[in-house]
Homo-oligomer: A and B are copies of this chain.
Amino acid sequence: MSSLVVVGSLAYDAVETPHGKVDRMLGGACTYISLSASYFTQVNIVGVVGEDFAQQDVDLLTSRGIGVEGMERVAGKSFFWSGRYSDDMNDRVTLVTDLNVFATFDPKLPAAYRQMPYLFLGNIQPELQKQVRAQMAGPKLVGGDTMNYWIADHRQSLLATIKEWNFLLINDGEARMLSGKSNLKQAAEVIMAMGPSVVIIKRGEYGALLFVRHNGSLRWFAAPGYLLDQVFDPTGAGDSFAGGFMGYLASRNLDLANADNDPRDMLRAVIYGSVMGSYCCEQFGVDRFRTLTRAEIDARFQEFQDATAF
């Protein structure tokens, strides 16, 4: 069993989009990543919640086979985030960020997690990501994401952290910020020199780019953004991408140290990530994952095939 460990925030969100408003819904990077990855592999989460974290939300996770042994419950309230999207959904403003119990998060991996082969580090303080990595015995594949705040104000600690990763997922603006290069191919090369041998640059509605080194030269692959009839709520789309990407690689038992890997697995993982990100946008918060089936995922994977093959 290619089990995956996911670390990140478990939260409640309030969002307002042109399609409506929700005052409180399940959210957090760890939630989206694990729900999305659970369609591909067995997932186990590490995170912290407060006394207010509802049993029905725990039940949603366990209903998808997600292990919650590493979900710590402490006194206080769960992380809360609130934001509002612009009319065209391309911008959002953060209205509230209450870290609450997340402010003192000190991730400890249950013993059973430490032997697992796959680790995804959601966007939290780089020091904590590093500390989680250090608790793992010897994973086959480790990667994660980060954000502008850590790049700007915690650069040294971020560099020490991603040095130990196999891949970095990052958006285009952050890739430029981290590398100091505006050309994304050059940016990817600079980031690869920092450690990760695989760099995935997310470009929102425009899709994602994958960079890998192959026989000594840089190879790139482009996945388009899926054209939705309507973007209902983009919250969690990037994390759902991460879950689909990592979940698929785990399901394929990918091990970068093994030269026998099918190189197309990495490309397909980017497409599965894109599929999961697109489904996430169809309803508020995690709602689409309450009904989504593997058959729907594979049908959309085929749509990507039809939309790109020439």
Binding site for B on A (CB under 8 A): 87-88, 182-186, 203, 206-207, 209, 219-225, 227-231, 264, 267-268, 270-271, 305-310
- B221 touching A222 by the CB < 8 A rule? no
- A222 touching B209 by the CB < 8 A rule? no
- A308 touching B308 by the CB < 8 A rule? yes
A206-B206 CB under 8 A given contacts A224-B224, A306-B219, A310-B264: yes
Copies in the complex: 2
A224-B222 CB under 8 A given contacts A206-B203, A267-B310, A309-B309: yes
Write the nearest CB–CB distance from A297 to chain B, whole angstroms: 15
A264: nearest chain-B partner, CB-CB: B310
Between-chain CB contacts (< 8 Å), 16 pairs: A183-B228, A183-B230, A185-B229, A186-B229, A207-B222, A207-B224, A209-B227, A220-B227, A220-B307, A221-B306, A222-B224, A222-B225, A224-B224, A267-B309, A270-B310, A308-B310
- B184 touching A227 by the CB < 8 A rule? yes
Q: How far is the CA of A15 from the CA of B3 in the complex (A)?
A: 56
Q: How far is the CA of A288 from the CA of B203 in the complex (A)?
A: 29
Chain B hits for A225, CB < 8 A: 222
Write the nearest CB–CB distance from A121 to chain B, whole angstroms: 25
